[in-house]
Amino acid sequence: MNAAKDKLIVEGLRLRADRQAIDESIGAGEIVGLAGLDGNGQERFLEMLAGLVTPAGGSIGCRDDAGRTHAINSFRRAVSHGVAYLPRDRRASGIFPALSILDNFAMATVTRDCVAGLISYRRRRERYDHYRERLSIVAPHPREPITTLSGGNQQKVLLARALALQPGVLLLNDPTRGVDIATRKILYEVFRELSNEGMALVILSTEIEESLHLCDRVLVFRDFELASRLSGEEMSADRIIATMFGRDS
Amino acid sequence: MSERSATTGSGYRLARAVQRSVFSSAGFAPLLFVILLAINVWLNPARFAPAAWGTLLGLAAPLIGAAVASTPAFLGGRGGIDISVGPLMGFVNAIIVLVFIQMLGVSSPFVIVPAALLVGVAGGVVNAFLATILRIQPIVATLGTYLVLVGATLTILPAPTGTAPQWLSQLAGTWSILPLGCVFLVWWAICRTPYYDQLMAVGSDDRAAYTAGVPVTKVRFLSFVITGLFSGAAGLMLTALIGSADPAVGPTYTLIAISAVALGGVSLAGGRGSVIGAAIGAIDIFLLQSALTYLNVSTFILQISYGAILVLAIVLTALQDRYMEQRAQRAGS
């Protein structure tokens, strides 16, 4: 890990006030997995990185290309400093069922379609087409409601929405949940490409195989503490499961 | 595969999308509009002759204005509603005629129009503050302003009085298209800004809007301010029509405007519908009123028919929605 290329710097972060603090840094081009039994703090950790949950202690900083560090203390600040978050439950907190595919895509970046203060639908369409191609979104006319798409394609539109922010850090909360195999493969490929381009990715996954397949290293959480960091040879399904259940030491 | 079907079928898809957007944005109001218009023209051709359109539109204008004004607050969702639209129109009416024309002797449109809009915006800001910053339920917050405005109007103006200047009266006659046209132009411009997309997103699902980085509170705040601005404009149209200051007329517009909005396919839960739909709903109610008045039907029967048509239209829209949803799910899975 090269300190100059760190994107996210976590210092003394506490998931709960009475738990051990976490120091961690996530570098450019890294794919970091978060694992743990459900409700052991890994989701809260991700939400803290996104600025959605206020930490019980410590700080999170995001370093820009010029090397300055900005504290992340709200979701809005996180977004403005290039940290994008893809929520877990796309039906409850992701898509807008009443809106079109195009509007669903553009929602996080509406101001980028403006020409002299007014929205240019052509520009929005062009932006969408770029990501449609990149993520191979299979969709009818972009003016159709988003609910006409399959779950996998809805997820791709949400990913496109996050990518349209052109973030330096992408936080993914169980991105392949309820997604078919073909779409999964495409998503994995895209994640690798993004990391090759220098984006830092943090992926919370409920499937250990997925973390092993995709991530450079895995952070395993137990009881709202960081139980261990696994990478290289140590990264195996057995090891992760043992850590999750606290049988590792 | 999808590429090819998108290009060969694009014309068809576009036509279908346009058809759907008119229907889903205005429910059954356009259909009702055609039927009611035909009945009216058949009953009373002279009243609906082209030469009388100016006056006719002037008669309908305050209701259309009130319906349009009510819409933005609804679109913001999570119980967004402004029931103080009617009393605000009445308050604007009283301020203009009583304070500006009678007391100050000012009758220039360059003073009166901005003053009316400013009073409207001020009312909207108060509602916005109560409903989005203090987070009082919008129906309770605007009920408060409703009562305050009714009381304030009656205090400064216990009985009808005064006359409107001539330029203003003409805005309810020959030039009745002008104020409505301006309101639609402003809304059209709003629809082309990022704000409109954000408003629809907030109304559709505010949690999803928050995680997509939409400033939810700011967007809702502004929706009440826009409602206030349009209420000010509707107050001008009301003044133009009645040609004097009358404390009793304004408040009657609130409920009828809400009926028009619902009839026009605007979801009272937010995130769906359009100002055009609300306007068509208002015109429907006006045409119904016009036809039944011509037939000398009592006003009580008139009220019954408003209610019946409203419920029927909403049931039909709900059925249509369910059908669309099922079809979308079939297509999705």
Q: Which residue of A has its CA nearest to B273?
A: A98
- Mean residue pLDDT across chain B: 88
Residue B313: per-residue pLDDT: 77
What gap in Å lies between CA A31 and CA A187, rounded to an integer?
13
A34 contacts A42 by C-beta, under 8 angstroms: yes
Distance from CA of B213 to the nearest CA of A (A): 6
Q: Which residues of A fall within a CB distance of 8 Å from B321?
A: none
**H or E stretch at B248:** none
Tokens of A51: 């600025």
Count how many residues are written for chain B: 333
Q: Which residue of B has its CA nearest to A164?
A: B212
Inspect the interface and report whether the beta carbons of A119 and B193 lie closer than 8 Å: yes
Q: Which residues of B fall within a CB distance of 8 Å from A99?
A: 200-201, 204, 271
Q: What would the pLDDT profile of A18-72 be if each residue is shown by its tens digit?
A: 999 999 999 999 999 999 999 899 999 999 999 999 999 999 999 888 888 889 8
Inspect the interface and report whether the beta carbons of B329 and A147 lie closer than 8 Å: yes
Position B179 pLDDT exceeds 90: yes
Q: Give the phi and the psi of residue B256 in degrees, each rounded to 5.
A: -70, -30
Rounded mean pLDDT of B44-70?
93
User: Who among B17, B209, B333 is closest to A141 (CB)?
Assistant: B17
Alpha helices in chain A (DSSP H): 42-49, 75-80, 90-93, 101-106, 121-134, 151-163, 181-196, 208-214, 237-244
Inspect the interface and report whether the beta carbons of A147 and B332 lie closer than 8 Å: yes
User: Who among B192, B212, B272 is closest to A161 (CB)?
Assistant: B212
**CA-based nearest residue to B124, from B217, B195, B19, B225:** B225
Position B27 pLDDT exceeds 80: no
**CA-based nearest residue to B81, from B147, B115, B130:** B130
Q: What would the pLDDT profile of B212-264 be if each residue is shown by its tens digit?
A: 889 999 999 999 999 999 999 999 999 999 999 999 999 999 999 999 999 89
Q: Which residues of A fall within a CB distance of 8 Å from B201?
A: 96, 99, 103, 107
Q: Which residues of A fall within a CB distance of 8 Å from B189?
A: 118
A152 contacts B21 by C-beta, under 8 angstroms: no
Q: Which residues of A fall within a CB distance of 8 Å from B13?
A: 140-141, 144
Distance from CA of A212 to the nearest CA of B (A): 28
Q: Which residues of B fall within a CB distance of 8 Å from A85?
A: 211
Q: Which residues of A fall within a CB distance of 8 Å from B2?
A: 138-140
Position B4 pLDDT exceeds 50: no
Interface predicted TM-score (ipTM): 0.81
Q: Which residue of B has its CA nearest to A180?
A: B333
User: Who among B204, B211, B215 is closest to A87 (CB)?
Assistant: B211
Rounded mean pLDDT of B60-67?
97
Listing DSSP states for B127-194 in one string gives HHIIIIIS---HHHHHHHHHHHHHHHHHHH-SS-B----HHHHHTTTTTTHHHHHHHHHHHHHHHTSH
Q: What would the pLDDT profile of B285-302 be if each residue is shown by its tens digit?
A: 999 999 998 999 888 888
Do the bridges between strand A217-222 and strand A83-86 make them parallel or antiparallel, or are there none, so unpaired? unpaired
At residue B56 the predicted structure's pLDDT band, cuts being 50, 70 and 90, is: very high
Inspect the interface and report whether the beta carbons of A96 and B205 lie closer than 8 Å: yes
At residue B19 the predicted structure's pLDDT band, cuts being 50, 70 and 90, is: low
3-state secondary structure of A132: helix
Q: Say how many CA atoms lie within 13 Å of B271 toward its Cβ.
A: 22
Inspect the interface and report whether the beta carbons of B201 and A138 lie closer than 8 Å: no
Residue B117: per-residue pLDDT: 97
User: Who among B212, B214, B332 is closest to A150 (CB)?
Assistant: B332
What gap in Å lies between CA B58 and CA B137, rounded to an integer?
34
CA distances from B314 to A94, A173, B31, B332 (A): 28, 39, 13, 26
Q: Give the phi and the psi of residue A227 in degrees, each rounded to 5.
A: -75, -45
At residue B22 the predicted structure's pLDDT band, cuts being 50, 70 and 90, is: low
User: Who among A96, A106, A151 is closest to B204 (CB)?
Assistant: A96
Answer with the residue of higher pLDDT: A28 or B326.
A28
Inspect the interface and report whether the beta carbons of A141 and B10 lie closer than 8 Å: yes
Position A1 pLDDT exceeds 50: no
Predicted TM-score (pTM) of this structure = 0.86
**CA-based nearest residue to B152, from B64, B65, B92:** B92
At residue B7 the predicted structure's pLDDT band, cuts being 50, 70 and 90, is: very low
Rounded mean pLDDT of A216-229?
93
Sign of the dihedral through C-alpha A107, A112, A118, A124: negative
User: Who among B10, B201, B325 is closest to A99 (CB)?
Assistant: B201
Burial code (b: 16+ CB inside 10 Å, e: under 16) for A82-102 equals bbbbbbbebeebbbbbbbbbb
Q: Which residues of B fall within a CB distance of 8 Å from A148?
A: 328, 331-332
Q: What would the pLDDT profile of B64-106 be if each residue is shown by its tens digit?
A: 999 999 999 999 988 999 999 999 999 999 999 999 999 999 9
Inspect the interface and report whether the beta carbons of A140 and B2 lie closer than 8 Å: yes
Residue A2: per-residue pLDDT: 47
What gap in Å lies between CA B243 and CA B29, rounded to an integer?
30
Rounded mean pLDDT of A101-116?
88
What gap in Å lies between CA A196 and CA A174, rounded to an integer?
21
How many CB atoms are closer than 10 A to CB A111?
A: 14
Q: Which residues of B fall within a CB distance of 8 Å from A105?
A: none
Summary count for chain A: helices (H), strands (E): 9, 12
Test mutation, A96, A136, A150, chain B, max B CBs within 10 A = A96
Inspect the interface and report whether the beta carbons of B211 and A94 lie closer than 8 Å: yes
Residue B329: per-residue pLDDT: 65
Q: Give the phi and the psi of residue B257 in degrees, each rounded to 5.
A: -70, -40
Test mutation, B205, B272, B326, B330, chain A, max A CBs within 10 A = B205
Q: Which chain B residues have any C-beta within 8 angstroms of a chain A C-beta?
A: 2, 5-6, 10, 13-14, 17, 189, 192-194, 197-198, 200-201, 204-205, 207-215, 271-272, 325, 328-329, 331-333
Test mutation, A99, A102, A125, chain B, max B CBs within 10 A = A99
Tokens of B267: 């979801």
Rounded mean pLDDT of B315-332?
73
Distance from CA of B259 to the nearest CA of A (A): 22
User: Who among A93, A110, A145 is closest to B207 (CB)?
Assistant: A93
Rounded mean pLDDT of B145-170?
94
Inspect the interface and report whether the beta carbons of B208 and A118 lie closer than 8 Å: no
Q: Which residues of A fall within a CB distance of 8 Å from B192?
A: 118-119
